[in-house]
Structure 1
Amino acid sequence: MTQTHTLKSAFRDAMASCAAGVHVITTDGAAGRYGITMTAVTSVTDTPPTIMLCINSEAAIIPILSANRDLCINTLSDGQQDIAEHFAGMTNLSPEERFEYHIWHRGQTGQLEVEGALAHLHGSIVSHSQVGTHYVFFVELNEIKVNEAHPPALLYFRRRFRSLD
């Protein structure tokens, strides 16, 4: 085994040991509609409210997201594991069919938000760069909705979905 492979495997195992919230990123616009399940979603600053997304450069959403620029980060609750699985490609649904199995609403900028999520964070990409195998997108938020019912969160930990109850 090469040193690079050892470090890559160790890094992946270490990151799998970090519990992370589960999000479905949706975008809809001139380049089309698409969604992807993600855990690499991090707050950057609250002035202005900015989120960072790290997405594999081979992901099908990259050209669509880059062209549309607007998106919604749907933070999933523990009852929404099926949504996470659909948008992670763990089911046999096509990218378009994934949107047919859930109830969707639109935010002020027309981006899709899944009903029942913990939060909907709408924004626009303000900058991006490529780091290794991933694109890093900085998204400035322009609309935020928080679920007042406060259901438990859906987490991803040690390569499995879990509930934070």
Structure 2
Amino acid sequence: MMECRFLVPERDALMHSDARTSEGQDVLNGFKMAMRRLASTVTVITTALDGRRYGMAATSVTSVTAHPPALLVCINQSASIHGPTIANGRFCINLLGVDHDDMVGPFSGQAAGEDRFAYGTWDAHSGGLPYLLDAQANLFCVLTKRVSYGSHSIFVGEVEQVRLCGDTEPLIYQDGGLYRTLGLPTQS
């Protein structure tokens, strides 16, 4: 039988002050380990403000409703894209395909600012909103709600336009790695 365990201290251990401190760390470590088991399509979130482009890689993107079509994305409040997304009121979710694994590093902090856009071929939608030309899909959103939670903001965007390109071959992130198809890691 498969071994399973709860990552919360025993009830008796909660009587000791050092156990109470470690309880939060146990849950945090367990949470991180559990999230590594959640496979997600890798995206690049983009916006623009005053002629400057902003972008970040993200896997914390999900649909909210079909009526109206809406998505949510979670963005760290310290990320350079956070303020411009609020100020612009619009953002684009670019769904990456299997051939985009070279973009993940730069949009995850290995490059900064405009240097991130040296990777991939970009165009500008109305208002200068950058979108990746060969993304599997581009979802252009109007920011309709923002909720602060911990270190992040949850942005809900109503989809105003969708652009589809090519076959359905998503770049998947799971267990700390990129996968071109489920179960087969990329070579990067």
Instruction: Give the structure 2 partner of residue 150 of structure 1.
Output: 167
Instruction: Give the structure 2 partner of residue 97 of structure 1.
Output: 115
- Taking the aligned partners of 1:164 and 1:142, their CA distance within structure 2 comes to 30
Secondary structure (helix, strand or coil) at the match of 1:153 reads coil
- Taking the aligned partners of 2:41 and 2:127, their CA distance within structure 1 comes to 24
Instruction: Give the structure 2 partner of residue 51 of structure 1.
Output: 71
Instruction: Give the structure 1 partner of residue 83 of structure 2.
Output: 63
TM-score, normalised relative to structure 2: 0.81
Aligned counterparts, 1:113-132, within 5 A: 113-132=131-150
- Residue 24 of structure 1 pairs with residue 44 of structure 2: yes
Instruction: Give the structure 2 partner of residue 12 of structure 1.
Output: 32
- Taking the aligned partners of 1:43 and 1:17, their CA distance within structure 2 comes to 20
Q: Which has the higher strand share?
A: 1
The one of the two structures with greater contact order (alpha-carbon pairs below 8 A, sep at least 6) is: 1
Instruction: Give the structure 1 partner of residue 185 of structure 2.
Output: none
- Taking the aligned partners of 1:32 and 1:69, their CA distance within structure 2 comes to 15
- Residue 80 of structure 1 pairs with residue 100 of structure 2: yes
Secondary structure (helix, strand or coil) at the match of 2:179 reads strand
Q: Quote how far apart the aligned CAs of 1:31 are.
A: 7.7
Amino acid aligned to 1:142 = E
Q: Quote how far apart the aligned CAs of 1:10 are.
A: 0.6
The 1:31/1:5 distance shift into structure 2, 3 A limit, reads farther
- Taking the aligned partners of 1:32 and 1:68, their CA distance within structure 2 comes to 11
8 Å CA contact 1:31–1:64 kept in 2: the answer is: no
Q: Which has the higher helix share?
A: 2
Larger Rg: 2
Aligned residues: 162
8 Å CA contact 2:63–2:70 kept in 1: the answer is: yes
Secondary structure (helix, strand or coil) at the match of 2:142 reads strand
Deviations 1:109-149 (A, max 9, x none): 531111211100001111111112211010011010111x2
- Taking the aligned partners of 1:94 and 1:134, their CA distance within structure 2 comes to 20
Deviations 1:32-54 (A, max 9, x none): 32100000000000111100111
Q: Quote how far apart the aligned CAs of 1:107 are.
A: 2.5
TM-score, normalised relative to structure 1: 0.91
Amino acid aligned to 2:69 = P
- Residue 161 of structure 1 pairs with residue 181 of structure 2: no
Task: Structure 2: state its 5+ residue gaps.
Answer: 1-20, 183-188
Secondary structure (helix, strand or coil) at the match of 1:55 reads strand
Amino acid aligned to 1:97 = D
8 Å CA contact 1:108–1:143 kept in 2: the answer is: no
